[in-house]
Amino acid sequence: DGGITQSPKYLFRKEGQNVTLSCEQNLNHDAMYWYRQDPGQGLRLIYYSQIVNDFQKGDIAEGYSVSREKKESFPLTVTSAQKNPTAFYLCASLAVGFSNQPQHFGDGTRLSIL
């Protein structure tokens, strides 16, 4: 089945620690996105990538980093510089040739501070 797989489902971060959230897709989509959702809030864009080896900052990129070494994979690292990392993190993808189409989301990773 084609889809977007995020792992882990739940993640805990200690003070001063970097953690990496995984996002893999087998849809052959060019573009991938990371969003953050806080309770009672909409989704906010962290980073996006339209092509391998290229990515752009979104609206709230501070304290996060990404890489796009393979088309299928777009991992997000939450660094120790992100002082309020507790949130629900969602990865999405899109076929660029169908840019007016909707994004579809993975099941998300819930990150909490220990």
| Comparison of 35 and 64: residue with beta carbon closer to other proteins | 35
Contact between 90 and other proteins by CB under 8 A: the answer reads yes
Question: For residue 50, what are its two tokens?
Answer: 């339209």
Question: For residue 69, what are its two tokens?
Answer: 């070494």
Contact between 105 and other proteins by CB under 8 A: the answer reads yes
Segment interacting with other proteins (CB under 8 A) among 20-28, 63-71, 77-85, 105-113:
105-113
Contact between 31 and other proteins by CB under 8 A: the answer reads yes
Using CB under 8 A, pick the residue from 56, 69, 81, 86 that binds other proteins.
56
Of residues 70-89, those binding other proteins (CB under 8 A): none
Give residues with Cβ within 8 angstroms of 5, minimum separation 6: 22, 23, 24, 25, 106, 107
Segment interacting with other proteins (CB under 8 A) among 21-29, 50-58, 64-72, 76-84:
50-58
β-bridge mates for residue 5, sequence order: 24
Answer whether 112's CB lies under 8 Å from 9's CB: no
Give the chain's largest Cα–Cα span: 42
